[in-house]
Structure 1
Amino acid sequence: MSDDNRTLPYPEPDAEHPTLVIPGDGTADDAGTDGGIASARRRRRWPWVVLVIVVVLAALVVAAEFVARAVLPGVVRSIVIEQLDLPGDQQLEVDAGGILLPQLIAGRLDSLHLSTDAVTLEGITGAVDVTATGVPLRGGDLTSASGTIRIDEDQFTSLLSTTDLPVDTVTLDEPNATVSGSITVLGLAVPISLTLTPGAIEGDLELTPVSLSVGGVEIDAAQVGSNLGAIGADLTRPQRICIADQLPAGLTLTGLEIDGSVAVIDIDVDGAIVTDESLLEKGTCPAA
């Protein structure tokens, strides 16, 4: 080869002739770099995906809870009205305690609160407030239930109508009840007024005398026996009255007090009242 056609050396790279790098030439190094970037992006994205899923699930749970709370009161109200044979337009407030969804899944409500301003049960009309616990949704007895019945003077008078007390009218004035009527002494009707403090003992109504007036004149309890004999002695001793025959058999009187001008009756409810229809009928009192 002649010197005229000799091969010239490749010029050294310098600032005027930089070496160009062609991107994405398909080499293993490029693939590894792109894969690493994609993996990093996926790692940054997955917590947000999980967060969105959690938020959606939480929203669904909240929505389901709202639906359950909207539907359950109507269902319970219908069952209570049917079981107690109440009017279709009976006012009844229903409230379930706690978060409902787990309770509905388990088939038992932790607590259920029922209240009404006026309802008639076996002839007694009053405002009822009852809380039941362990309420089965698939049949069975309640774990427990208790509440109060608030009655006015007329209804309280009805409770005493079967007693030996001279009851024409009853006036309630916290903490006492004053019974007014008349007794017969030597063939004459003598008006009396007996003030008593009501309470409860072993399921019965207890009336403890506070004062007694005869013909509008208040007399000392110690003198009643000498003036009115056996009748007076009966009036001034504590009265124990069974009222079980005026309440459903599944209800037991546990307390009674006067609140303002109404009588507040505390009751205990037999848990089997939801399965045993006989407990919805009037109870009985022992024979005298």
Structure 2
Amino acid sequence: MNRESLNQKRRVRWPWILLVIILLLAALAVAAELVTRAVLPGIARGIVIEQLALPADQQLDVEASGVLLPQVIGGRLDELHLSTDSVTIGGITGSADVTAIGVPLRGGDLTDASGTVRIDQEQFTHLVAASDLPVDEIRFSEPDITASGSFSIFGVPVPISATVTPAADAGELLLTPVGAQIGGATLNAAEIVDRFGKAAAWITEPQRICIADQLPAGLTMTGLKIDGPEAVIDIDVDGAIVTDPALQQNGVCS
């Protein structure tokens, strides 16, 4: 076989060799991506639990978006979705759903994060009971809540039931009156003030309740609504919460 024939055969083989190499590289890339997808959630879960000081057995579902291998090589995930059926944040226990943007895998702050926390009537009662309002029990009636308690007139306890619409405003819980019953009688605002004076004036006016001391300082409440048996709280998360211990501690009310 002459040299020209050998060269011709080599030229014929070369595209096939190149194709095989490309296919092998593609297969390796796919395999690496699959391995990354299988392993990464556990790694990310461990980082979140460690940096936020959550219990080691905390139930936490983790899902990352996009093609992961380049993100892992770069050391930062584009988007990470975290969800749990039950977690204690500050002094409040509920389910949580959070999306974090720009998640560092080798330490550092998040670029951004936000999500929702869902709590039941008992937990919501804890939020309100920590204020100065005479509230013993909360019942949900979408979109409102009914707060029951009592106040004292000349040393005599007077039962009260107030219906209010909850919302969030500037990080605080805002309760706007809708109606009230005092001692079993339904009264309007003027009648309440006329009969009971300042002792019951809070029932007729919007009430602002600071809950910063019941949530980590790195969380800010941005929205609140009643959805069936749950209160849905929208939160904004300071990206530095994963590195700054002060943001992981409960805030303060001025």
Question: Per the shorter chain, which TM-score range?
Answer: over 0.9
1:207 pairs with 2:175: yes
In structure 2, distance between residues paired with 1:86 and 1:135: 18
User: Distance in 2 between the 1:85 and 1:140 partners?
Assistant: 16
- Aligned-partner Cα distance in 1 for 2:227–2:245: 32
Residue 60 of structure 1 is matched in structure 2 by 28
1:1-288 superposed matches below 5 A: 34-286=2-254
1:111 shift after superposition? 0.9
Contact kept in structure 2, 1:165 and 1:235, CA below 8 Å: no
Shift of 1:231: 2.4
Partners of 1:64 and 1:174 in 2: CA distance: 48
More relative contact order, 1 or 2 (CA 8 Å, 6+ apart): 2
Tell me the alpha carbon deviations over residues 15-68 of structure 1, each in whole angstroms, 9 at most, x when there is no partner: xxxxxxxxxxxxxxxx6xx54444443333322222221111111111111111
Q: Distance in 2 between matches of 1:66 and 1:197?
A: 48
Could you say what the CA RMSD is over the residues aligned between the two structures, in angstroms?
1.5
What amino acid sits opposite 1:278 in the alignment? A
The structural deviation recorded for 1:105 is: 1.6
Aligned AA (1:119): V
Distance change in 2, residues 1:255/1:156 (3 Å): same
Indicate the larger mover: 56-65 or 70-79: 70-79
| TM-score normalised by structure 2 residue count | 0.94
Please tell me whether the aligned partners of residues 125 and 137 of structure 2 are also in contact (alpha carbons under 8 angstroms). yes
User: Whole-Å Cα distance in 1 between the matches of residues 110 and 180 of structure 2?
Assistant: 45
Q: Is the 8 A contact 2:151 2:200 kept in 1?
A: no
Map of 1:11 onto structure 2: none
Cα deviations by residue, 1:255-281 (Å, 9 ceiling, x for unpaired): 111111101111111111111111111
Q: Which has the larger radius of gyration?
A: 1
Q: In the alignment, is the contact (CA less than 8 A) between 1:205 and 1:240 conserved in 2?
A: yes
TM-score, length basis structure 1: 0.84
Q: Secondary structure of the equivalent of 1:160?
A: helix
**Structure 2 residues without counterparts, runs of 5 or longer:** none
SS in 1 for 2:135: coil
Deviates more, 1:229-238 or 1:273-282: 229-238
- State how many pairs are aligned: 254
Deviates more, 1:248-257 or 1:49-58: 49-58
Range 215-224 or range 276-285, more displaced: 215-224
Give the number of the structure whose residues are more often strand, by fraction: 2
